[in-house]
């Protein structure tokens, strides 16, 4: 009996050790070595059962003929409300495979929240104002976020091996489709630096800055 108790305690301690929090830091650089701000990072464990992120209720407004915010990362199953706080009417649409929808010409908040139940990138536009563009990255990855002005994202994860994917509105297809592996081991932290293989696509013309262009 005592041996069984000791064995159970040992296994429990090992399980707790594997589950202890750790820090994963991902830094993204453009092809010329400069920090890439505003990139979307997703981290998926390669071992064990990954937890699903909880859906959220998000808001993407329309202000000064622009989406506010102009890029959001949301878990699968989330809903997004699209109020129009602008001084003019807008007609929002998406033709993206992950979610096709249209909100006919409106101001204020006349429509119910839109449900996003499929992972993927949803590109948003306005039928009235061609310069308006926004993105929703819908993900089922347990950990996700965006890089800061230094091109860095840090997440509190559990120990183990991870597959890292990244996306940015100006990334070339080859870079957007690439995945990277990293091991978060006994030290309790790991760092991964990803340098894009291709130059970014040109920034769209216009006088309005975007959250992904620093």
What is the C-alpha separation between 114 and 93, in angstroms, rounded? 11
Render pLDDT for 135-176 as a digit per residue (tens, 0 to 9): 999 999 999 999 999 999 999 999 999 999 999 999 998 888
- What are the beta bridge partners of residue 166? 41
Tell me the C-alpha to C-alpha distance, in Å, between residue 45 and each of 14, 164, 188: 18, 9, 15
CA distances from 109 to 60, 104, 170, 171, 194 (A): 11, 12, 31, 33, 41
**Burial tier of 188 (Cβ tally within 10 Å: 0-12, 13-18, 19+):** exposed
Q: Which domains does the chain have, with CATH numbers?
A: 22-46+144-197 (2.60.40.10), 51-140 (2.60.40.420)
CA distance 203 to 126: 19
- pLDDT score recorded for residue 47: 86
What does the pLDDT read at residue 16?
A: 37
Report d(CA 52, CA 143) in Å as an integer: 9
Please give the pLDDT value at position 95. 96
- What's the CA angle centered on 182, arms 137 and 31, to 5 degrees? 65
pLDDT at 2: 38
The DSSP bridge pattern shows strands 90-96 and 120-126 to be antiparallel
pTM over 0.85: yes
Task: Establish whether the linkage from the previous residue to 94 is cis, with ω within 30° of 0.
Answer: no
The answer to whether 165 and 28 have CB atoms below 8 angstroms apart is: no
Per-residue pLDDT of the chain (214 residues; tens, 9 = 90+): 333 333 333 333 333 344 567 999 999 999 999 999 999 999 999 987 778 899 999 999 999 999 999 999 999 999 999 999 999 999 999 999 999 999 999 999 999 999 999 999 999 999 999 889 999 999 999 999 999 999 999 999 999 999 999 999 999 988 888 899 999 988 888 999 999 999 999 887 666 778 887 5
Q: In Å, how far are 14, 18, 21, 212 from 187, measured between CA atoms?
A: 15, 12, 11, 32
């Amino acid at each position: 009996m005592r041996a069984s108790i000791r064995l159970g305690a040992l296994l429990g301690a090992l399980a707790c050790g594997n589950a202890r929090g750790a820090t994963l830091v991902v830094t993204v650089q453009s092809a010329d070595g400069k920090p890439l701000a505003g990139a979307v990072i997703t981290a998926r464990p390669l071992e064990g059962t990954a937890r699903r992120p909880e859906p959220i209720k998000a808001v993407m407004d329309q202000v000064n003929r622009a989406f506010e915010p102009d890029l959001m990362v949301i878990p699968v199953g989330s809903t997004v409300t699209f109020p129009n706080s602008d001084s003019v009417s807008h007609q929002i649409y998406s033709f993206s495979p992950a979610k096709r929808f249209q909100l006919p010409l409106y101001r204020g908040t006349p429509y119910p929240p839109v449900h996003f139940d499929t992972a993927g990138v949803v590109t948003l536009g306005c039928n009235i104002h061609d310069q308006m563009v926004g993105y929703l990255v819908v993900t089922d990855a347990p950990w996700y976020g965006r890089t800061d002005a230094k091109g860095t994202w840090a997440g509190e994860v559990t120990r183990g091996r991870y597959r890292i994917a990244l996306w940015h509105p100006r990334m070339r297809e080859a870079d957007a489709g690439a995945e990277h592996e990293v091991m978060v081991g006994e030290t309790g932290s790991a760092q991964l630096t990803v340098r894009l293989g291709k130059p970014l696509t040109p920034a769209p013309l216009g006088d309005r800055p975007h959250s992904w262009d620093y």
